[in-house]
Amino acid sequence: MATEVKVPQLGESITEATVGEWLKQVGDPVEQDEPIASLETDKVSVDVPSPVAGVLEAQVAAVGDTVEVGALLAKVGAGEGTATVADEPRPAGDEAKDGGPDATTENSDVIDQDKADEQALSSDLTLSPAVRRAVLEHGVDPSKITGTGKDGRITKDDVLAAAKAKDAAPEPAAKAAAASGGQASAPTSIKVAGERREERVKMTRLRQTIAKRLKEAQDTAALLTTFNDVDMSAVMEARSKYKDHFAKKHGIRLGFMSFFVKAVALAAKDVPAVNARIEDDEIVYHDYLDVSVAVSAPKGLVVPVIRSADQMSFAEIEQSIADYGKRAKEGTLGMEDMAGGTFTISNGGVFGSLLSTPIINPPQSAVLGMHRIEERPIAVNGEVVIKPMMYLALSYDHRLIDGREAVTFLVRIKEALEDPTRLLIDL
Q: Which of 122, 155, 172 is the last residue of a domain?
A: 172
Cα distances (Å, whole numbers) of residue 411 to 317, 403, 405: 22, 12, 10
For 209-221, what is the mean pLDDT?
85
Residues 38, 151 within the same domain = no
At residue 193, the pLDDT reads 64
Cα angle value 394/398/404 (rounded, 5°) = 70
For 69-97, what is the mean pLDDT?
59
Give pLDDT tens digits for 218-248: 888 899 999 999 999 999 999 999 999 999 9
Cα distances (Å, whole numbers) of residue 327 to 73, 124, 320, 334: 25, 26, 11, 9
Domain that holds residue 26: 3-77
At residue 43, the pLDDT reads 64
Note whether residue 311 is domain-resident.
Answer: yes
Tell me which long-range contacts 181-190 makes (C-beta under 8 A, separation of at least 24): none
Terminal-residue alpha carbon distance, the chain: 68
Our count of domains for the chain comes to 3
Rg value, the chain, Cα: 28
Give pLDDT tens digits for 347-375: 988 888 999 999 998 889 999 999 999 99
Does 286 qualify as catalytic in the annotation?
A: no
Residues 58, 106 within the same domain = no
Q: What is the mean pLDDT of the chain?
A: 80
Residues 361, 322 within the same domain = yes
Note whether residue 394 is domain-resident.
Answer: yes
At residue 424, the pLDDT reads 81
Q: Which residues are CB-contacts of 282 (< 8 A; sequence separation ≥ 6)?
A: none
State the pLDDT confidence band at 87, using cuts at 50, 70 and 90. Answer: very low
State the pLDDT confidence band at 337, using cuts at 50, 70 and 90. Answer: confident
Residues 286, 339 within the same domain = yes
Residues 260, 317 within the same domain = yes
d(CA 156, CA 153): 10
Note whether residue 185 is domain-resident.
Answer: no
Residues 227, 349 within the same domain = yes
CATH number at residue 28: 2.40.50.100
For 273-292, what is the mean pLDDT?
94
At residue 334, the pLDDT reads 79
At residue 11, the pLDDT reads 66
At residue 237, the pLDDT reads 94
Query: What is the 3-state secondary structure of the chain?
Result: CCEEEECCCCCCCCCEEEEEEECCCCCCEECCCCEEEEEECCCCEEEEECCCCEEEEEECCCCCCEEECCCEEEEEECCCCCCCCCCCCCCCCHHHHCCCCCHHHCCHHHHHHHHHHHHHHHCCCCCCHHHHHHHHHHCCCHHHCCCCCHHHCCCHHHHHHHHHHHHHCCCHHHHHHHHHCCCCCCCCCCCCCCCCCCCCCCCCHHHHHHHHHHHHHHHHCCEEEEEEEEECHHHHHHHHHHHHHHHHHHCCCCCCHHHHHHHHHHHHHHCHHHHCEEECCEEECCCCCCEEECEEECCEEECCEECCHHHCCHHHHHHHHHHHHHHHHHCCCCHHHHCCCCEEEEEHHHHCCCCCCCCCCCCCCEEEEECCCEEEEEEECCEEEEEEEEEEEEEEECCCCCHHHHHHHHHHHHHHHHCCHHHHHCC
Does residue 105 surpass a pLDDT of 50? no
State the pLDDT confidence band at 127, using cuts at 50, 70 and 90. Answer: low
| Cβ neighbours, 10 Å, residue 25 | 17
For 282-302, what is the mean pLDDT?
85
Of 155 and 48, the structure prediction assigns the larger pLDDT to: 48
Residues 116, 144 within the same domain = yes
Cα distances (Å, whole numbers) of residue 220 to 226, 367, 405: 19, 16, 20
Note whether residue 184 is domain-resident.
Answer: no
For 260-265, what is the mean pLDDT?
95
Note whether residue 178 is domain-resident.
Answer: no
At residue 111, the pLDDT reads 42
Q: Which of 155, 172, 189 is the last residue of a domain?
A: 172
Note whether residue 132 is domain-resident.
Answer: yes
Pick the range with the lowest mean pLDDT from 101-105, 278-282, 300-304, 334-338.
Answer: 101-105
Residues 70, 129 within the same domain = no
For 194-211, what is the mean pLDDT?
80
Does 398 qualify as catalytic in the annotation?
A: yes
For 155-179, what is the mean pLDDT?
65
Does residue 156 surpass a pLDDT of 90? no
Percent of the chain residues past pLDDT 70, beyond the cut: 77
Q: Which of 119, 151, 172 is the last residue of a domain?
A: 172
Give pLDDT tens digits for 7-18: 887 766 677 888
Percent of the chain residues past pLDDT 90, beyond the cut: 37
Q: Are the C-beta atoms of 142 and 127 separated by less than 8 Å?
A: yes
Note whether residue 195 is domain-resident.
Answer: no
* Catalytic residue selected from 94, 244, 270, 402: 402
Q: How many residues does the chain have?
A: 427
Residues 122, 268 within the same domain = no
For 96-118, what is the mean pLDDT?
45
CATH number at residue 213: 3.30.559.10
Note whether residue 183 is domain-resident.
Answer: no
Peptide bond preceding 358 in cis form (omega within 30 of 0):
no
Residues 318, 395 within the same domain = yes
* Catalytic residue selected from 94, 157, 245, 398: 398
Does residue 172 surpass a pLDDT of 70? no
Residues 221, 254 within the same domain = yes
Give pLDDT tens digits for 10-42: 766 677 888 888 888 888 888 888 888 888 776
Residues 225, 254 within the same domain = yes
State the pLDDT confidence band at 302, using cuts at 50, 70 and 90. Answer: confident
Q: Are the C-beta atoms of 155 and 174 separated by less than 8 Å?
A: no
At residue 410, the pLDDT reads 96
